[in-house]
Amino acid sequence: MIPKSMEAAFERAAHPFHMWDGLMTTPEAMAGVLEPGVQEQVRRAARSMAGVGHVHLAGCGTSYFSAIAGTYAFHAVAEVPATAHNAFEFSAYPPAGLGQSALLAISHTGGTAVVLDCVRLAEERGAVTVGLTDIADSQLATTPAHVILGGGGREHSLPKTKSYPASLLRHYLLAVTMAERRGRQVSGLRAALEAATEHSRQVLAGAEHQARQLAAERRPGAQVFVLGGGPNLATALEGALKLQESAQVRAFGWELEEGMHGPWGIMEPGDLVILPVMRGPSMAKARGLAAALQHIGVSIWAITDDPDGLPGAHHVTFMPQGVPECFSPLYAALPLYQFTYFTALAEGKRPDCMRLADDRYLRARLALPR
């Protein structure tokens, strides 16, 4: 028996699936986050966080990866220490000193049980609590002291797309607003975020053909490895998760340095290695990795803002110029989502419902502890 909350994910059996609709409406989701009402929610949250010495970010799955990416903006822009946590780990093994900190609790649906547990625990220990959700009538919209909404409402596909960059944009706006309150000159950073709607539209239009071609050219059974450093560690993890969920591909996401400490040993000739890497401290590491992997015979796809591309890459997708590296995950995931979608179609998969059309997997999903 399919739960009512999942029914929409089983509605479509051919392109365009809900996942595609969600991905292609990402620019509208960005515009929603930039609306005045959401900006006022951001300002209120920033005021409440004025005296905190640490920001904790907690979520599960895609929301956890959003938390990872968000930490880099709080470090670089707001100059506040930040830590990302899997929500279960935070609630079961809470960090010390929560009374002097803030918790950003992240859940697209606003009903993830362990995320709500994090909020209750943090409030009991005196932390400032802020919820990030796309569902206005959810528990996460009312349980924390503050909420930042936006993102275009509930996604019908089980694997989420547009809610991820919409979540990132809220992190980044909050970090910029905190920096402004601390007297930092960050007008250029705010302007970069205000261009998110147009940038995301350009990336989706510019990357679609290549993503479609890469999916068509992928050898059946080829593994996919996504490796990123700094803020785009989150992109690597999110890209691999989407390939697993939507296309049931053997996909692996690693941090660049960790990928060099053994995991490369399971790569095979013909596998695809995806490197989301922007100009910054991770670039030299990515160049060295791309050069080394030439000896194995893998295909390398670089997603980068470097006009010169990445030496050794067989395919390059260019990101918008002038976007600070700490904000680049806003766009780096979009070509990966497109590639995932087209790979799912090529594999004969229904990306909206993951593998739950198979009753064995549906029963397993429903039996998972919540």
Task: State in Å, rounded, how far the first CA of the chain is from the last one.
Answer: 18
Once rounded to an integer, what is the mean pLDDT over residues 290-299? 96
**117 and 231 fall within a common domain:** no
Position 361 scores a pLDDT of: 95
**215 and 321 fall within a common domain:** yes
CA distance 207 to 210: 6
**281 and 241 fall within a common domain:** yes
Question: Is residue 354 in a domain?
Answer: no
**224 and 82 fall within a common domain:** no
Q: Per-residue pLDDT for 1 more than 90? A: no
Q: What is the pLDDT of residues 234-285, one digit of tens each?
A: 999 999 999 999 999 999 999 999 999 999 999 999 999 999 999 999 999 9
User: What b/e string do you get for 205-231 counting C-beta neighbours within 10 Å, with b at 16 or more?
Assistant: eebbebbbebbeebeeebbbbbbbbbb
Question: Is residue 262 in a domain?
Answer: yes
Question: Is residue 190 in a domain?
Answer: yes
**323 and 271 fall within a common domain:** yes
Position 5 scores a pLDDT of: 86
Question: Is residue 256 in a domain?
Answer: yes
**180 and 214 fall within a common domain:** no
Q: What is the pLDDT of residues 297-315, one digit of tens each?
A: 999 999 999 999 999 999 9
**183 and 221 fall within a common domain:** no
> What is the sign of the dihedral through the CA atoms of 203, 206, 212 and 214?
negative
Q: Is there a contact between 296 and 324 (Cβ–Cβ < 8 Å)?
A: no
Q: Partners of 303 in the beta sheet? A: 276, 317
Position 150 scores a pLDDT of: 85
Q: Which of 194, 227, 242 is the last residue of a domain?
A: 194
What's the CATH number where 178 sits? 3.40.50.10490
User: Quick one: pLDDT band at residue 225, thresholds 50, 70, 90?
Assistant: very high
Q: Which domain holds residue 51?
A: 18-194
User: Quick one: pLDDT band at residue 73, thresholds 50, 70, 90?
Assistant: very high
Domain total for the chain? 2
Q: Partners of 224 in the beta sheet? A: 251, 272
Residue where the block lists tokens 């010390």? 96
Question: Is residue 1 in a domain?
Answer: no
One-letter-per-residue 3-state SS of 28-52: HHHHHHCCHHHHHHHHHHHHHCCCC
Question: Is residue 51 in a domain?
Answer: yes
Q: What is the pLDDT of residues 25-49, one digit of tens each?
A: 999 999 999 999 999 999 999 999 9
Question: Is residue 5 in a domain?
Answer: no
**187 and 228 fall within a common domain:** no
Question: Is residue 11 in a domain?
Answer: no
Position 2 scores a pLDDT of: 87
Give the DSSP letter string of 167-210.
HHHHHHHHHHHHHHHTT---HHHHHHHHTHHHHHHHHHHHHHHH
**247 and 325 fall within a common domain:** yes
**How many Cα neighbours within 13 Å face the side chain of 86?**
5
Q: Per-residue pLDDT for 207 more than 80? A: yes
**292 and 316 fall within a common domain:** yes
Length of the chain: 370
Q: Per-residue pLDDT for 151 more than 80? A: no
Cis bond upstream, residue 16 (ω within 30): yes
